[in-house]
Amino acid sequence: MKATVYHAPHDVRLESVPDAAVRDPKDAVVRVTRSAICGSDLWFYRGVTQLEPGDRTGHEFVGVVQETGAEVRRVRPGDAVIAPFAWSDGTCDFCRAGLQTSCIHGDFFGSDGSGGQADFVRVPYADGTLVKMPEAIAGDAGKHAASVTLSDVMATGHHGVVRAQTRPGSSVVVVGDGAVGLCAVLSAAKLVGAEQIVAVGHNPRRLAIAERFGATHTVNSRDEDVRDEIVELTHGGAPHVVEAVGHQKSLDLAVGVARPGGTVSFVGVPHQVETPPMSDIFHNNLALVGGVAPARAYLPELVASLETGRIDPSPVLDLALPLDQVAEGYAAMDERRAVKVLLTVSDSP
């Protein structure tokens, strides 16, 4: 089989690797139909974080169950499935509490030789991890492609909105115009029903997607008076703010535009954050919450919403490539020529 392999910063290659196989009775092997490149993949691609040469890459994929271990009961060969970006057993205390990314037996795809940018993926704890894909998604080319966003970016954007305690009819600010930030806008508009949604970024094409997703206002993050502009738009600050970048400046801005007593949710992986702005948090009685999204907990709602057409996150997938052009996909995202790359791996069910 073919899989994407990390060699060095700016050097990922599609190579022949040993076939994925059932190694434990709880495993399944999934034939990947669609995968994607995530913004967080750019951290190792740019050398900000380190992988070992030979590591597999990718944690967003959907596909068809090819084989199951003897103890797998909830999926069977032939089922179309969506995989969250982390596997989990579904039975531990954290899984039962809806925090599957803290599963005591769990881990993230892209580790243990289970990268999602590949022909096949071994899925540990298949019963706790995989979610069946309805025929209305599996059999619809557009929805099938869009379903790969549910693996991570749509779930993560939604997590940011939920953790910010966003309410119907409320005001929310989303800082960041990457795929996660854009999906947070979509969640706030279509799943929660916020009345005022302020999208903050600096890429006009991405902010146009934010408007398409339901943003009522867009603000250029590079404006000199961006903080004052947002505070004025929200009449003193927003009660709900989502930080979807992971930089010090974006976190500072998110905290700075929050209304006293509000909640700031951070879901951007904080690789370039040295310290939270504690003085503002303290003096304004803000809650700072967030973290890695338990995508598995959100998948049933998100799958149903995609099935019915309540959400359509597909516009963030603005470049589609075959798997053998995965290196070009990384380059396109690194150079900001694409918001998010969809990788076509094999035929849909």
Residues 12, 146, single domain; the answer is yes
pLDDT at position 25, please? 98
Share above pLDDT 70 across residues of the chain, in percent, rounded to a whole number: 99
Tens digit of each residue's pLDDT (9 = 90 or more) over 285-333: 999 998 999 999 999 999 999 999 999 999 999 999 999 999 999 999 9
The residue from 273, 290, 307 where one domain ends is 290
pLDDT at position 307, please? 98
The residue from 246, 262, 290 where one domain ends is 290
3-state SS, the chain, equals CEEEEEEECCEEEEEECCCCCCCCCCCEEEEEEEEEECCCHHHHHCCCCCCCCCCECCCCEEEEEEEECCCCCCCCCCCEEEECCEECCCCCHHHHCCCHHHCCCCEEECECCCCCCECEEEECCHHHHCEECCHHHHCCHHHHHHHHHHHCHHHHHHHHHHHCCCCCCCEEEEECCCHHHHHHHHHHHHHHCCCEEEEEECCHHHHHHHHHHCCCEEEECCCCCHHHHHHHHCCCCEEEEEECCCEHHHHHHHHHCEEEEEEEEECCCCCECCCCCHHHHHHCCCEEEECCCCHHHHHHHHHHHHHHCCCCCHHHEEEEEEHHHHHHHHHHHHCCCCCEEEEECCCCC
Residues 42, 64, single domain; the answer is yes
pLDDT at position 271, please? 82
Residues 158, 252, single domain; the answer is yes
| Confidence tier at 237 by pLDDT (50, 70, 90) | very high
Q: Residue 108 pLDDT > 80, yes or no?
A: yes
Instruction: Count the domains in the chain.
Output: 2
Residues 144, 159, single domain; the answer is no
| Confidence tier at 21 by pLDDT (50, 70, 90) | very high
Residues 73, 53, single domain; the answer is yes
Residues 12, 122, single domain; the answer is yes
Residues 144, 268, single domain; the answer is no
pLDDT at position 274, please? 86
pLDDT at position 262, please? 98
- The domain of 332 spans 2-152+294-344
Residues 197, 223, single domain; the answer is yes
